[in-house]
Amino acid sequence: MFSPWISSLQLILIALFWRGIFTVSLTAGTVPLLDSNVPQTLSRSAVITGDSLVEKVEILTPIDLQLSCTCNANPNKLPNVTGFWRKDGIEIDNSRLTVLLEKEQYNLKREFSIDGDNLGNYSCVFYVGDKESRIDFYLTAPEMEGKQDKPVIAYVGDSVTMACKIKHLPNAWIWYKANGTQQELINATTDPLHYKMVVDGNATKLTLKNLKELDSGVYICSAVYNIKASVKQMEVRVISFMEPLKPFIAIVAEVILLVTLILFFERWGSKKSDDLPAENMIPVDQLDKLTQDDNNGMGESNARQRNV
């Protein structure tokens, strides 16, 4: 529920600290100087696993990235602590350093050469005494907006539209259909009767027309960047119109049955009461609020007046 707020908060932090990346993506090759000053106070940590902070970084193109971490000294103020880097949980060789205390802070910096193969989770870890404090940098290609975990239902002979949207302009949009483990490229120009693809900058739409049962399956839209392609999967299920028709017919049958029953019950009930003496005179007990009048004939005209 709150997770969209947390990740957007993180992205705001990224935007503040890593504006360099986005300018760098247009002019590949330059080395940005990046600082991630994240104050951490060990005294605050009540968590036994140690303090940790997660930062998400979206990378569009291969760059040389410098990550730096800062940790505020605890009251103990050890003159030096051990710091090292991890990638995807595994310690990077030769990255272990002794970090000296500078102005009440411990600083750790390292430069990484990032391309499509080595995206992942980079962490800088401080070992203060026994405790571990770490900052995680999630380096990824941009992620698509929206999630489609439920299949899109469509009917035979109908059409269905799938949309993909992403934050940063990709080089190209490509659609695939998953065929077992393989992916088939969808070419809208060779098959215009069946497919229609519309690209609108950050968004794309694929329309499948004249659906058949074998059009069911997983469709993948991919936004191509220099570094990697970002994908989103959507499942399409094509069903025949018989499926919703069954509950519909069941409900209509129930309605007809109930109506017949009610009308029949009413007619049967009124036939029974027809056998009893007709009561088109106002019953005397209606006059219980008003003064009683024993004479039936008089009672009728009085009641008429009293009913006003």
Q: Which residues of this protein are in contact with other proteins, per CB under 8 A?
A: 1, 5, 150, 152-155, 158, 160-161, 163, 239, 241, 243-245, 247-252, 255, 258-259, 262-263, 266, 270, 278-280, 282-283, 286, 289-291, 301, 303-308
How crowded is residue 196: how many other Cβ atoms within 10 Å of its Cβ? 15
Query: What 8-state DSSP symbol labels residue 73?
Result: P
List Cα–Cα distances, 178 to 7, 214, 232, 234, in angstroms: 30, 12, 12, 10
For other proteins, the closer CB: 88 or 200 = 200
Residue with smaller CB distance to other proteins, 109 or 306: 306
Query: How near is the Cβ of 80 to other proteins at its closest, in Å?
Result: 44
DSSP 282: P
Rounded least distance, CB 166 to other proteins, Å: 17
Q: Which residues contact 202 (CB under 8 A, 6 or more apart)?
A: 165, 166, 167, 168, 169, 170
CB of 239 to other proteins, least distance (A): 8
Judged by beta carbon, residue 185 or residue 193, the one nearer other proteins is 193
Based on CB atoms, which residue is closest to other proteins, 44 or 212?
A: 212
| Minimum gap (Å) between residue 259 Cβ and other proteins | 4
Q: How far is the CB of 153 from other proteins (least distance, A)?
A: 4
Q: Per residue in 219-253, is it b (16+ CB within 10 Å) or e — as a string?
A: bbbbbebbbbbbbbebbbebeeeeeeeeeeeeeee
Indicate the residue among 104 and 279 with the shorter CB distance to other proteins: 279
